[in-house]
Each structure stands twice: as structure tokens, then as C-alpha cells.
Structure 1
Amino acid sequence: MARRRLTPFSKILIVVLIIGGLYFLLNKLRDPAVKDKIEEVTSSDNTDAKTKDGYKDVINVGVVTWGGYAGGQYFNEGFKANTASRFYKDYGFKVNFEVIDDFDASRDAFKNGSIDLMWATIDAFPTEVEGLSQYQPQVVFQADWSRGGDAIVARRGINKVSDLRGKKIAVAPMTPSHSFLIWLLEAGDMSTKDVKIVEVPSAIDAADAFKSNTVDAAVVWSPDDADCVSKVAGSKVLESTKNATHIIADVFVAKKEFIETHKDQLKDLYEGWMIGASELNNSESNKRKAAKILAEGLSQPEDFCFDAINNVRLATHGDNQNFFGLNTSYNGVTGEDLYNKMKVKYNNLGYSTAGAKSWRLLSTKDLVSKTSLSGSSHNSEKQKEFTAVDENLATKESLSSKKVSISFRTGEFRLGENAKQLIDLQFTPIAKAFANARIRIEGNTDNVGNRNSNIALSKKRAQSVADYLINEHNMPVNRFIILGNGPDKPVTGCERNQNADCKSKNRRTDFELVVD
């Protein structure tokens, strides 16, 4: 049978069709929607998908409904992995934020590898280190300090910390809420043994307990604090992290093995996140944009998300340098300080932290130390500027009062080394943790000697304590309210200075937190 041959015209037509098809295909591939769909299919397994040089196509970050992670989500242009992300455009990889509000589920996701970075708060982390030990968790960077996101609401008649004595308080144990309560009670010379703890699963449940009139106070999250106050007549926010500035620090944790195999990528993640945080800290319009991103990603109202961002201090690169102890001139609270203190505090309350490794073995400074970001927007947070003290502050009711017996030689007011050590053990950590509250220092004496002389001497002693905190710990001068009571404010039960023990108790210094 004779073969049929293609005519020249047919050959030309076939070539034209092939070229036309290729042109159409190339144009479709340039379509962003098609490109994204192809990339989504080819990298659907985010856990295993890796490119060369140890870079994953997608870094998965586990988060909760909280405003403190906005720096990363804003820089990512959303919660889901996408090509519009600046992580993708500037560094060549995508980031996916997985919202896991259930605590146990978030830890399971970290253990099984479905998320690469896990949120935690450094104050409560000592209670869970042992349970994660086989995964060798490492704190890699700080995301924020809570600044109003956590609060204690209280019923009518509870106006200061001492009023909580014997009262029922709803709190989620071994959480940031619990940490906040521990610190506040300590500032008022109390402990959780002086109140009736009502354990609840979460801060949301604590708010429900308060609104149902089953407790006298509760440790809650914002905006539940405002909701509680509006629904329980006569109630108030007793204190929040607006003043208790350095107690609750959100950090991110990665497995040691993951860090070792993805160091460069994690450094890029940290750098982009810090750039995002700095842009939000310095622009209301950027915060509004971030609030829209959070509203979509968290399924919350936009105003709720905007308030959530304003209820934290988004940590900058400078803040991280302070947090990891890389700034030798920094005198504030470091991650190591907070971790070590809370390890002891929780252990003393019966929550075993024996398996909590040392900070040196639990943290890595590499991401922070090897990142270079310049410009004032990346600087660490400045201390609060306090106005000059007036007469109203001298008599204003304090939030809390802590008595410390500082020994002075008879007739002297200068601090000895033992007195300085006592201040640093019993009060300096509280002063640093509540950095936005004023400190009223009241000097007191027994009734031996001339009253007017004792008043003058007690004021000098109080001033000596303030001078030590100003000079040694770099606290603002205007933060301190100095009073000398002499013998006029004896402790209850020792009003007559009837014996040596009472006289010793009356020779004391009272440290009070006063909210502006």
C-alpha cells in the first residue's frame, strides 16, 4: 500500500499549531494563580519538602490566638504559605502559620514534626522541658513581652493585693496566667498559700468562672478582662501586664536537630520577622494592615486584633539581644533570669521542675548573634519616662506592699553589702518585673530616741535604698517616691514596741508598687 505524504502546507500548519500551543502554555504558566496552584501541588507535603542547602520549601510555625506573633504574620502577608510573602520574595522560602489553640495539640504537633517552631512562654516553660527532653528543645528567639494581654480581674472591695488574702482565684495552672499571679502575690508579701486557687483549663475558663460568680478574682486574657468588668457590677482590673512588663515573654522553640540542619534558613526567618516587628512598632498604618491579616487568620474581628497587637511589646532585634544576654550594659530582665526564677518558684509550689535543663543547654543565641540589623527601629525598648513625683503620689494607695528588714547600724543610713544583697534577693526582681509601676520606699524605725530624728533618719535610709537601685540597676530617678515614717507606722501587733522582737520588726523598709 502506498504511503501518503504530508503536503508542504500541512507541515507548515502543524508547526504553527505546535508553536501556538507552546505560547499558550507558557502564558498560562506565567499566571500567578496557576503558578501558585502548581507549587501547592508539588510541595503539598510541607514536612518533607526540601530544596538544596538544607532549606525547606515551607517552614511551619505553630501559634495561638495572640497578637504577639504579628511581626512574622505581617511580614508573611498572611498566615498561609504564599508567593506574595516577603519571606518568599527576600529569602526564597515560604512560611505557614498553623493556629493551634489547644495546648496539648500544639505540643503533639511539635513532637510529630508537623510544625517546625512551637510557641511557648519562658516563664512557664520550666514546667514542660522534661516532657520534651527527647526532642532537645531550644529557645531560638523572643517574639514579645505581654503588655496588657494578661490581667487579674477582681470583685468589688478588692482594691490591692492584700485584699486577695483568703479569696478564691480562678487560674490555669502552669501557664502564663499562673506565673503572673505568683509574681503579683509575691509583690504583696503573699503566696498562693494565702489564697484559694481554683484551677481551670484556660484563661478563657477563668473568665467564665468570674462572670458566673463562682470566684472572687480571675487571671484572664484581654479582651476578656474588659468583658468581665462590664458584666460583673463593681468589678475592676486589679493589675495587668501593662505594669507587670517583664513577666510573660513569648518565645519560639525548635528541635536541636532541626536547628543544626536549617541554621541559615532559621536566621533568615528571624531576620524577616524582626524587620516586620520593627515596622509595626513604628507605624499605626502598618498595625492596621497587620490587624486585617490577623483578623482573617484568627477568624476574629479586626478591632480585636488591633487591640491584641497593642497589648504586647513586639520584640525587636535589640530586645532579643537583651533577652539572650548579648548586651553587657543591659540591666533588665533576661530570658535566663526569668527562666531560672520561675524554675525555682514552680518547684517550690510542688510542680516538679527537676528535669528542666539549664538555660545554657536550652537556648541558642546563634540566630540573634549572627544577625545584623541597623537603624533606630531595631533598637531595644527604652525605659518608661516617669514624671516628677508630686504630693498626690506620696499618699496614693499602693497596689502592693512588701516588707524587707534591712539592717542599719545605729544612727547610720548607708547600705552595707549584706543589705544590698538582701534588696537584690527580696525586691530587685519585683522592681524589674513591674517596670512600669512606681516604687514607694518607706523607711521605718522603732521608738527608741527622738521622734523627729528618727523620721529624718528613716527618710535617709529609704533614699539610700533608692540610690542603690538607681546607680546599680539603672532605674529611673523619678520612679521613686521616698518617705520617712520614723516610728509612726509600726507593724500590727507591735504598736508599743513592747520587746526586742517587735523593735526589730519595726526597723524595716517597705517597698510599695504604685500605679500612675
Structure 2
Amino acid sequence: MARRLTIFSKLIITILILALLFFGGQWLLNNTQVGENLKNKAEQEQANNNSGTSDAKSSSEKKSGGLFNRSDSEGDENTLKVQLVMWGGYAPGLYFNEGAEANTRSRFYKDYNMKVDFKMENDLMNALNAWIADEYDVLVQTADAFSFYTAPDDLASMEPKAFMQVDWSRGGDAIIVKRGIKTVNDLKGKKIALAVPAPAQTMLVTALESAGLSIDDVQLVKTSDNLKAAELFRSPDVDAAVVWSPDDIIATRDVPGSKILLTTREQSHIIGDIMFAKQSVIDSKKELFDGFYEGWMRAVAELKNPGNAEKAAKYLAEFCEVSVEDAKGMMDNVYYTSHGDNINFFGLNNSFRGMKGGDLYDKMNQRFVQMGDNEKLGPSWRSVISTGPIRSADSKLQGTQYSAEKDKDFRPASSADKTIPAFATKPVSINFATGQFTLSENAKTIIDLQFAEIAKSFGNVKVRVEGNTDNVGGRQMNMELSRKRAKSVAGYLQTSYGMNPNRFVIVGNGPDKPVTGCETNATESCKAKNRRTEFQLIPA
């Protein structure tokens, strides 16, 4: 026979039901997307209420909010305010942050108890002025052009410090040329449009060096940005231009007979994007910068998963206001640098012999002054970097997913590699003792100064080393001697710079390819010109 519940039993059951509803609600809010949406909606409503209250403030008070006047970041010392430009390299940060705006869904918030607010600002001067006014904590730039921020006295006094490398451009920048220009060597005397001051100059300078040329060997048509350089290319006023992708594809499609000469897929280690901040801000927000760096590196590792990359593409598309397919194309044009890459880039790995940030910065620090684009030299690379966030994360970012990029896996040289047209050729005079093929110390220094950096910059292409002699002695002997000399040169680059042996194609021409005008070796001057080693860059 059923028994009725007592008043006390009913009370106990009621309390249990209320407890279940309370804790169930708490779990729902904290552990489900529905809960996250409810919390964000509540935050937005609170923000709207606050906004309504603040409407009564004076216009000057409103203005003090600057660029970041959203309720979740304005005046919030726990929010990092970061400027970005329209570039595929920033997908990891947007992915980890669950979008551009500061929010509680962000992994930065959940894992590091901080917020990050990303803002699009393609006008670098506007961005700089906002950074000076402390409306941005972090700005973006490239390592080669960083001296524009470290050299001027007024900016140097703020101690701008690079603290993270974001990516390497891998197809995002290109040199496009018109009909008749087949190699970098053919650019001599030509009119070239490019943005200044900009990384476009670095790409062109290094490309010309690969052909034994300099900026003085071409006619520069300077513009304020890469879009205008692409527009100039469509006119009859220039022969070539340095542009961004996808303008390389669009502009060459518009100009009959034109083509893409090379991109940063070949010139793979020349444009490295960095982030920088004032030293005082890095110090005062140390935990935020440590979390920002560590979270970004975790994102880079996670984007190797196709599903995560798809998610990142959607956030990038939303941020840049492009289609998801276009966002994927932007992402394909960069290589996201890992924690291991950052250790190498910032000179924290003494055994690393590849391209470092200091190599790019110190070189262009001088070149920009020589070209008249910067008034004075900036401090050395060591003086303008802050490696604290990298060092702080090192013990936590262990494993192959955080390792540095491996060298390209080149196939052994084929017979076709010996004859395929080179897109750049640089003749270098390397002296050998008569009948010898061993490199002298002076010869090694010449290789260091005239070609090693080029080989590092063009990390994704093969290098054909061609040895040449004059006509003194038997032809067969000279053929073998020139081959051995070319092999010695390649061997030095392999052992001293850790370059893959399969990257090199060894050719001995003997006396069969004399310099134009010196075909008969009639003078000692001509014989000296013919005794040369040529470095040729060929497709991998």
C-alpha cells in the first residue's frame, strides 16, 4: 500500500531539485557553447547599459577611449591591444582568440586569464601614431624594415623591441616582369616599380645581388604602396614591379607577355614578419606577453591539423572581409614560424647556420641609409629584441610539434639540372693555385661575402656551381680541374652552412664557356675573367 510523503520528505526533495537545477545550470554555463553564448550575450547587454550611461559624458572623454573603446578592452590592463594588417600570417592568433575582438571564448582568456583585441590597420603611419599614444601595445612589421622604427631618435627613446617572429612570406611577395625579361640578370638598366620604404626593397636588393647587380644597376620608380606598384606595371612606364599576391597573378594576366619572375616561395627566407612593443610595456605586462607568445605558438602547432586550419581560415576571412577560399589562399602564401623557428630567428640556438633576424635587420639597416630612405643607422639587432617571452615558454613548448622547420628535401642532381635555364647567375672570381682545386682562406672569405647569404635567402632552390678556366693547358685536364674546383666550392657551403648536398649541381665547363668578348683569351685580363666560378639559381 502506497505511503504519503511527509512534509519533511517533501522539503528534502525540493532542496535536492533546486540544488540539481543550480549546479546543472552552472555546468551548462561553464562547459557548453550554449553557456558561452549566454554569458557573452549578458556581457554585451551589460556593455550596452554601460554605453548608455557613458553617453552623458563629454566628447573629449569619449575620445580618450581611442581605437579600443569596446567595453571588454577599454582601460583593461588585462587586455593586449594588437595591430594587424591584411595578411595571412595572422591566422594563428585569430584562431586561438576565437576571432578578432576580446572575448571570454578566447583560449587566451581560458588558458592564460588574459584578453587580446586585434584591430585591422593597414596604414602603418596611423598605426605608429596610435602606438606612440599607447592605443596599441603591439605593432607588426618585418625584420628587414624594423630599423625604420629603431633608428629615429624620437622612436628609439621608446625602446621598440621585437619579441616574436610570426611567419616567413612564401609566395606572398613577387617580382613580375614584362616580355623579354627572362632572368634577374635581364633587369639591368630596367625601370622597376616598388613601394618605399618597404620590404619590397629588401626583396629586390637581394634578388639583384643573386645576379651580381645592385640597386644602382636599375632605375627605381618609387611608389607609396604595393597596390600602386601593380598599377604602374600595367602602364608602359615600367618594365617590372615588386608586388604582393594576388596582384602578381592579376597584373601579369592583364599585361600580355608578362610573367612572374620569382616569388618568396623561391626567395624563401627574406621577408620575416615580426611583432614588437615598447620595452616598458613588455615589462609592465610581462605575464600577458608570455601568455600571448605561448598561446600563439600552440596555435601554430594546432594549425597543422586540417580541421583547425579550416577554422582559422574562417576567422581570417571574417577579419579581412574576404571569402574563405581567398583566406585559404592567403594562408598558403606564408609559413607560420614555430617556437623552434623563433629560437633560431632570435639567435638563441648557437648551432643554427640559416637565416636569422639579425642577418636581415643588420644588412638592411645599412642599405636603407645608403639608399637614402633612412637618415641614420639604428642600433644593432641585439639591442632591439626582447627574448623574454621565448625563454619563458621554452620549457612548456617541447615536442616535435614545436620544432623548427626542416631544410627542403632536395632530390639528387639530375642530368636535366645541368642544362635547365637559371633564373639568376652570379659570376665570382675565386682564385686557385695553378693546377689546384683546394680553397684558400681568401677564397672561403669571398664565398662567405658574395654568395653564402644569397644561398640562405633562396632556401627553396637548387644552386648550380659551374667551374670555368682559361685556355692554358689541355682541354680535358681543364674540364676535370674546373669540375673539382666547383665541387670544392659546393663542399665548403655544405660543411660551413649545413646546406643539403643534394641541393648542389656541379658542372665543369673547362675553357668552353668564356666570357663574352674574351672568347680567344687574347689578354691576361681576359684569361683572368674566364677563370671564374658561377653560382646559378635554378628551380628545385
* Normalised TM-score (structure 2): 0.87
Which sits farther off after the overlay, 163-172 or 115-124?
A: 163-172
1:77 to 83, 93, 98: 98
State the distance in 2 between where 1:473 and 1:262 align.
38
2:289 & 2:45 partners in 1: Cα distance? Answer: 26
Matches for 1:54-133 after TM superposition, within 5 Å: 56-131=77-152, 132-133=155-156
Task: Tell me the SS of whatever aligns to 2:157.
Answer: helix
Matched, 1:345 2:370: no
Percent same amino acid among aligned pairs? 43
Contact 1:47 1:114 in 2 (8 A): no
Letter in 2 for 1:509: T
Residue 278 of structure 2: aligned partner: 255
> Is the 2:514–2:530 Cα contact (8 Å) retained in structure 1?
yes
Q: Within 2, Cα distance between the matches of 1:478 and 1:254?
A: 41
Amino acid at match of 1:226: I
Residue aligned with 1:447, SS = coil
Identify the match of residue 367 of structure 1 among 389, 395, 398. 389
Q: Secondary structure at the match of 2:467?
A: strand
Q: Deviations over 1:425-484 (max 9, x none)?
A: 000000000000100000011111111101100100000011111111110111101001
RMSD: 2.0
Q: CA–CA distance in 1 between the matches of 2:380 and 2:490? A: 33
Q: CA deviation at 1:39?
A: 6.0
**Partner letter of residue 432 of structure 2?**
F
Q: Which residue identity does 2:361 align to in structure 1? A: Y
Which residue number corresponds to residue 472 of structure 1? Answer: 496
Residues 350-371 of structure 1 show CA distances to partners (whole Å, capped at 9, x for unaligned) of 3336340111110011111121
Partners of 1:31 and 1:400 lie apart in 2 by 59
Which residue pairs with 2:480 in the alignment? 456
Q: Secondary structure at the match of 1:439?
A: strand
Distance in 2 (CA, whole Å) between partners of 1:453 and 1:36 is 82
1:425 corresponds to which residue? 449
Contact residue 178 and residue 239 of structure 2 kept, 8 A: yes
Name the amino acid aligned to 2:183.
Answer: K
Letter in 1 for 2:338: T
Residue of structure 2 in register with 1:210 after alignment: 233
Deviations 1:478-498 (A, max 9, x none): 110100111111112222222
**1:238 alignment partner, one of 248, 261, 266:** 261
Amino acid at match of 1:38: Q
Corresponding position of 1:299? 321
Alignment of 1:98-247 (within 5 A): 98-131=119-152, 132-247=155-270
Output the CA distance in 2 between the equivalents of 1:447 and 1:488.
Answer: 9
- Residue by residue over 1:173-207, the C-alpha shift from the partner in whole angstroms, topping out at 9 and shown as x without a partner, is 12111110111011011112111111111111111
Contact in 2 for aligned 1:443/1:483 (Cα 8 Å):
yes
Question: Within 5 A, what are the aligned runs for 1:23-34?
Answer: 31-34=39-42
Q: Which amino acid aligns with 1:458?
A: S
C-alpha distance in structure 2 between counterparts of 1:441 and 1:424, whole Å = 15
Q: Does the 8 Å contact 1:47/1:113 carry over to 2?
A: no
Aligned equivalents of 1:59, 1:178: Cα separation in 2: 31
- Kindly provide the CA deviation profile for residues 136-187 of structure 1, in whole angstroms up to 9, marking residues without a partner as x: 1000110000000000111122111111122211100121111101110110
Distance in structure 2 (CA, Å) of the matches to 1:410 and 1:39: 82
Deviation readout 1:384-404 (Å, 9 max, x if unpaired):
001121111100110101111
Q: CA deviation at 1:224?
A: 1.0
CA distance in 1, matches of 2:128, 2:285: 21
Instruction: Tell me by how many angstroms 1:48 deviates.
Output: 6.3
In the TM superposition, what whole-angstrom CA distance separates every residue of 1:293-314 from its partner, at most 9, and x where no partner exists? 0111111122111111110110
CA distance in 2, matches of 1:37, 1:487: 82
Q: 1:268 aligns with which of 291, 298, 305?
A: 291
Change (3 A) 1:491 1:144: same
Q: Which stretch of the first structure deviates more once superposed, 352-361 or 443-452?
A: 352-361
Residue 485 of structure 1 is matched in structure 2 by 509
| Distance of 2:39 and 2:381 partners within structure 1 | 49
Q: Is the 8 A contact 1:223 1:304 kept in 2?
A: no
In the aligned structure 1, how far is the partner of 2:255 from the partner of 2:408? 32
Shift of residue 47, structure 1, vs aligned partner: 7.1
Contact conserved, 2:73 with 2:117, CA < 8 A, in 1? Answer: no
- Unaligned runs of at least 5 residues, structure 2: 1-21, 30-34, 52-68
> Partner of 2:338 in structure 1?
316
Secondary structure, aligned partner of 1:135: coil
Code of the residue aligned with 1:144 in structure 2: it is: D
**Is contact 1:182-1:192 (8 Å) kept?**
yes
Q: CA contact under 8 A between 2:437 and 2:481: conserved in structure 1?
A: yes
Deviation of residue 213 (structure 1)? 3.8
- Judge conservation of contact 2:369–2:377 (CA < 8 Å) in 1: no
> Residue 14 of structure 1 corresponds to which residue in structure 2?
none
Q: Answer yes or no: is 1:326 the counterpart of 2:348.
A: yes
Change in Cα spacing, 1:36 to 1:92, as seen in structure 2 (3 Å) is: farther
Structure 1 156/312 Cα, relative in aligned 2: closer, same or farther at 3 Å?
Answer: same
Letter in 2 for 1:476: N
Aligned residues: 487
Matched, 1:290 2:316: no
Q: Does 1:49 align with 2:75?
A: yes
2:478 maps to a residue whose letter is N
CA distance in 1, matches of 2:476, 2:495: 29
- Equivalent pair of 2:463/2:538 in contact (CA under 8 Å): yes
1:499 aligned onto 2:520? no
Secondary structure of the equivalent of 1:212?
Answer: coil
C-alpha contact 1:440 1:483 (8 A) present in aligned 2: yes
Q: What residue in structure 1 maps to residue 14 of structure 2?
A: none
Q: Matched residues in 2 for 1:318 and 1:401: separation?
A: 33
Tell me the distance in 1 between the aligned counterparts of 2:478 and 2:347.
43
SS at match of 1:169: strand
SS in structure 1 of the partner of residue 136 of structure 2 = coil
Partner SS state of residue 258, structure 1: helix
- Structure 1's unaligned 5+ residue stretches are 1-22, 51-55
Residues 487-516 of structure 1: per-residue CA shift (max 9 Å, x gap): 111112222222222211211110011013
Task: Measure the CA separation in 2 of the matches of 1:360 and 1:471.
Answer: 27
Residue 226 of structure 1: SS of its match in structure 2?
A: helix
- Flag the 1:393–1:224 CA change in 2: closer, same or farther, 3 A: same
